[in-house]
C-alpha cells in the first residue's frame, strides 16, 4: 500500500470539488477501496472520506418510488420494511450479497462502484496485462481460468464479470442514479467494456453519487432475486436473476415482466427479449422455460464458463415460476 493523502469531506460540495483532483478516490464503506488497495489495484493519491456527510443515508419509500441515499448501508436497505414490501427483489439481492460484516459497512453508492472479481484484474504483480487497469495492455483472462467470466457483453478487450447483486435488481426496475446535476438510468450508468474496458461507469470527475431512485410498479412489488452459486453464502453469483411479474386480472396472463441477469455479463444485464416474449402470454412453465432461453441470446463462452449459458435461462425460469406460484 502506497502513501496517500486523506481528506475528509463534510459536505457534498466538498466531496465533488475534491473528487476532481487527479488520483482522487472516494471512501465510503471502504469494502472495495481498501480491498483493492491491498491487492495493488487501487493506488489513490488522495482518499476523500465521504462517510461523515450528513443526510446522505436516508431511505424514503412511497408507493411511487424509493429514494435511497448513497451512504445508506446495504444491511439497512435490505432490512427496510418498505423496501421489502415494495421492492422485494432489491432486499433479497442485498441479503444475498457479500457477508453480514461487509453489508454492515458497505454503502449503496459504493456498491454501484464495486469492481470486478476477475482474478487477473486483481493481481497486477503476476498479471501485468489488463485493459481495465492499463488500457491497451491486453487481457490476461482470455485463454486463462475463465470459470467465473462473462458470456454476455464481452469484447476482445475484456471478459470480466460484473459481480454485484443490487444493480441487477435496479436495472430490472428502471432505477435511476443521481449524480448531482446529472441523473442516469442505472442501466446506462454501467458500461460494457467494448474497446474501453477501463471505463466501467458513466461518471465524470467532480460527480458523486447522491442517491438511487427506484420507480414503484406492480412488477417491482411482486419480484424476487434468485442467486445461484457454489456455496450458500458469501460468494458471487454463478448466475442470478432479478425478476418482477404483473399479471392481468385473469391471474394467468402476463401483463408486465422484468428480467435482469447477474453473474453472466460484463454489466447488469436486462433481458428484454425474455420480457417481450412473455408479455401478454399465459404463465405456463413450457412457455416460460422456452422464453427464458432468450436471456442468453448472443452469449459467447470462453471455455470453462460455458455452463453459464445453460444455467442463466434456468435461473430466470425458476424465478418467474416462483413468482407465479406466489400468486
Partner 1 sequence: MTVHDMKHAGSDSARLEAVGGRLSRVDGPAKITGAAKYAFEQRLDGLTHAVLVGATIAAGKVTAIDARAAETAPGVLLVLTPDTIMELKGASDWLGNPPALSTYAPLARTVTFSGQHIAAVVAETFEQAVAAAALVKVTYEETPAIVDLSDRKAGDGIQIDMMTKEWGDAQAAFAAAPVRVCAAYNTPREFQVAMEPHGLIARWQGDELTIWEPSQWLDGMARTYAEWFGIPFEKVRLVSPYIGGGFGSKALALAHSAVAAAAAKMLNRPVKLVLNRPQNFTSYGGRAATRQTVTIGADKDGKIQSIVHRGVNETSVDGMWVEPLGSVTSIMYATPNFSSKQNVVRVNTVVPGAKRAPGENPSAFGIECAIDELAHELGMDPLQVRLINYAEQDPQVNKPWSTRQLREAFAAGAEAFGWARRSHAPRSMRDGHQLIGWGMAAGTYPVRRAHGEAVVKILADGSVEVESSSIDMGQGTYTILAQTAADTLGVPVEQVSVKLGDSNFARAGVAGGSRLAGVMTGAVYKAAGLALDELIGLALSDPRSPFQKVRDNTLVVKDGRIASPRGDGPELSIAELMQAVGRDRIEAKGDSLPTSTTPEERYKNYTTIAMSIPHTEGNYSRHSWCAHFVEVRVDEDFGTVRVSRVVSALDSGRLYNPKLAESQWKGGIIMGIGQALLEEGIVDRRHGRVVNGNLADYMLPTNADIPDIQTISVGIPDPHSSALGGKGVGELAIVGIAPAIANAVFHATGKRVRDLPITLEKLI
Residues that bind partner 1 (CB under 8 A): 1-3, 40, 117, 119-120, 123, 125-127, 143-145, 147, 228-235, 238, 306-307, 310-311, 314-315, 317-318
Q: Which is nearer to partner 1, 57 or 235 (CB)?
A: 235
Q: Based on CB atoms, which residue is closest to partner 1, 302 or 318?
A: 318
* DSSP classification of residue 294: G
Q: Give the nearest distance from C-beta 168 to partner 1 in angstroms.
A: 17
Helix (H) or strand (E) holding 314: helix 307-325
Q: Which is nearer to partner 1, 140 or 217 (CB)?
A: 140
Nearer to partner 1, 96 or 107 (CB): 96
Nearer to partner 1, 199 or 290 (CB): 290
Which of 262, 85, 34, 92 minimizes the C-alpha distance to 164?
262
Distance of closest approach, residue 109 Cβ to partner 1, in angstroms: 22
To partner 1, the closest distance from the beta carbon of 135 in angstroms equals 21
Transcribe 236-247 into DSSP letters. Answer: --SEEEEEEEEE
Note whether 270 and 175 are within 8 A (CB).
no
**Grid cell digits, residue 71:** 451512504
* Cβ-based nearer residue to partner 1, 147 or 279: 147
Coil/strand/helix, residue 267: coil
Shortest Cβ distance from residue 140 to partner 1 (Å)? 8
Nearer Cβ to partner 1 (205/303): 303
Q: How far apart are the first and last CA of the chain?
A: 53
Placement of cell 392481468 in the chain = 248
Distance in Å, CB of 96 to partner 1, minimum? 10
Phi and psi at residue 163, in whole multiples of 5°?
-90, -15
* CA atoms of 98 and 100, how far apart (whole Å): 7
Kindly state the smallest distance separating residue 207's Cβ from partner 1, in Å: 29
Q: How far is the CB of 95 from partner 1 (least distance, A)?
A: 12
* Nearest-approach distance from CB 108 to partner 1, in angstroms: 21
User: How many secondary structure helices (H) and strands (E) does the chain include?
Assistant: 13, 12
What are the E-state strand segments in the chain?
Answer: 5-8, 24-27, 46-49, 59-61, 65-69, 176-178, 183-185, 211-215, 223-228, 239-247, 254-262, 269-270
Distance CA 298, CA 278 (A): 19
The least CB distance from residue 31 to partner 1, in Å, is 12
Phi, psi dihedral angles at 287 (to 5 degrees)? -55, -50
DSSP class of 258: E
| Three-class SS state of 232 | coil
CB nearer to partner 1: give 40 or 216.
Answer: 40
Three-state DSSP at 140 gives coil
Q: Which is nearer to partner 1, 124 or 216 (CB)?
A: 124
Amino acid at each position: 500500500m502506497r502513501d496517500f493523502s486523506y481528506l475528509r469531506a463534510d459536505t457534498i460540495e466538498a466531496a465533488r470539488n475534491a473528487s476532481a483532483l487527479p488520483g482522487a478516490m472516494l471512501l465510503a464503506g471502504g469494502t472495495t477501496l481498501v480491498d483493492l488497495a491491498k491487492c495493488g489495484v487501487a493506488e489513490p493519491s488522495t482518499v476523500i472520506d465521504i462517510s461523515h456527510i450528513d443526510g446522505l443515508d436516508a431511505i424514503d419509500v412511497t408507493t411511487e418510488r424509493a429514494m435511497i441515499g448513497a451512504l445508506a448501508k446495504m444491511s439497512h436497505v435490505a432490512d427496510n420494511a418498505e423496501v421489502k414490501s415494495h421492492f422485494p427483489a432489491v432486499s433479497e439481492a442485498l441479503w444475498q450479497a457479500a457477508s453480514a460484516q461487509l453489508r454492515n459497512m458497505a454503502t449503496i453508492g459504493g456498491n454501484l462502484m464495486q469492481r470486478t472479481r476477475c482474478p487477473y484484474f486483481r493481481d497486477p504483480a503476476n498479471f501485468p496485462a489488463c485493459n481495465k487497469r492499463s488500457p491497451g495492455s491486453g487481457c490476461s483472462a482470455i485463454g486463462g481460468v475463465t470459470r467465473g467470466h462473462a458470456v454476455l457483453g464481452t469484447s476482445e478487450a475484456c471478459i470480466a464479470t460484473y459481480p454485484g447483486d443490487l444493480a441487477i435488481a435496479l436495472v430490472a426496475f428502471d432505477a435511476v442514479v443521481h449524480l448531482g446535476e446529472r441523473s442516469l438510468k442505472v442501466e446506462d450508468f454501467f458500461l460494457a467494456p467494448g474497446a474501453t474496458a477501463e471505463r466501467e461507469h458513466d461518471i465524470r470527475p467532480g460527480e458523486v453519487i447522491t442517491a438511487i431512485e427506484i420507480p414503484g410498479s406492480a412488477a417491482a412489488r411482486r419480484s424476487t432475486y434468485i442467486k445461484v452459486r457454489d456455496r450458500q453464502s458469501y460468494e458471487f453469483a454463478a448466475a442470478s436473476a432479478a425478476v418482477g411479474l404483473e399479471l392481468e386480472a385473469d391471474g394467468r396472463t402476463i401483463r408486465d415482466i422484468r428480467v435482469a441477469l447477474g453473474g453472466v455479463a460484463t454489466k447488469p444485464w436486462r433481458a428484454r427479449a425474455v420480457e417481450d416474449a412473455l408479455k401478454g402470454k399465459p404463465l405456463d412453465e413450457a412457455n416460460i422455460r422456452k422464453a427464458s432461453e432468450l436471456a442468453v441470446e448472443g452469449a459467447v463462452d470462453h471455455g470453462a464458463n460455458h455452463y453459464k449459458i445453460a444455467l442463466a435461462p434456468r435461473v430466470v425460469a425458476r424465478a418467474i415460476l416462483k413468482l407465479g406460484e406466489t400468486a
